[in-house]
Structure 1
Amino acid sequence: MKWAHVSENWPAFFEAIVEKWPEADEAELDEIDGDQRAFIRYIAEVTGQEIDETKDEIREWLSGEIPSDVIMDPSHDNHSIALSSKYVGEGEDEYDDDARFGDDDEVRDDGD
């Protein structure tokens, strides 16, 4: 992924950032507001790393996949669905509509 994806969707990355750097605080991340230099300085500060080491670690993190809940567009969603096909049972289609399972928020009247 590119930094542009991160900065454009900054709050959506908080969970992934805290997962990678547990020392990070969401309130502090909110103040950084997607500024890459400020983020590098902040991560170096909370981890006790040198700036160059932090840059390398962030570069490695950026080489990973964009979290699926960050990008909400049909082409990315379809790509993610296609990748999920390895978890779908034989004879099933990963693109099938799952509406028959209903809405988790709806209250059912069939005694359940």
Structure 2
Amino acid sequence: MKWHHVANNWPAFYEAILDKWPDADEADLDEIDGDQAAFIRYIAELEGMERSEAREELRDWLAGEIPSDVVMDESHDDISIRNSAKYVGEGEDEFADDSRFGDDEEDARD
């Protein structure tokens, strides 16, 4: 994952951050608010290491996958839904014909 994934969804990453750095505090994370340099300083202080070591630890953490709780986060879903609008043609009603999905008859019975 890239830092912008973390910064753009900062609160959704709290659980993953606390899993990696259990001594981190949510109030401190609120203050950091996705600022990478501030987060590196925070991790260095928290773990009692040099900033370069903290930067490397963060780099290793970022090499992993985006945690599923972030992917499933409501705000992330909303962004994905808004971004999908670019695939709906101009003047097309996205609700007009969903027969290819097989649920038109179910709606008619309800």
TM-score range, shorter chain: 0.5 to 0.7
Give the SS at the match of 1:70. Answer: helix
Cα offsets for 1:2-39 (capped at 9, x unmatched):
00000000001011111101111011001100000000
* Greater RCO (Cα-Cα under 8 Å, separation 6 or more): 2
Larger radius of gyration: 2
Which protein has the bigger helix share? 2
1:37 paired residue number:
37
1:56 paired residue number:
56
In the alignment, structure 1 residue 15 sits paired with structure 2 residue 15: yes
Give the SS at the match of 1:22. Answer: coil
The TM-score, its normalising length taken from structure 2, stands at 0.64
Distance in 1, matches of 2:19 and 2:68, equals: 15
Q: How many residues align structurally?
A: 74
Cα offsets for 1:32-91 (capped at 9, x unmatched):
000000000001011101101000000000000101121245xx9xxxxxxxxxxxxxxx
Distance in 1, matches of 2:38 and 2:24, equals: 13
Any stretches of 5+ residues in structure 2 without a counterpart? 81-110
Task: Give the superposed CA RMSD.
Answer: 1.4
Distance in 2, matches of 1:5 and 1:11, equals: 11
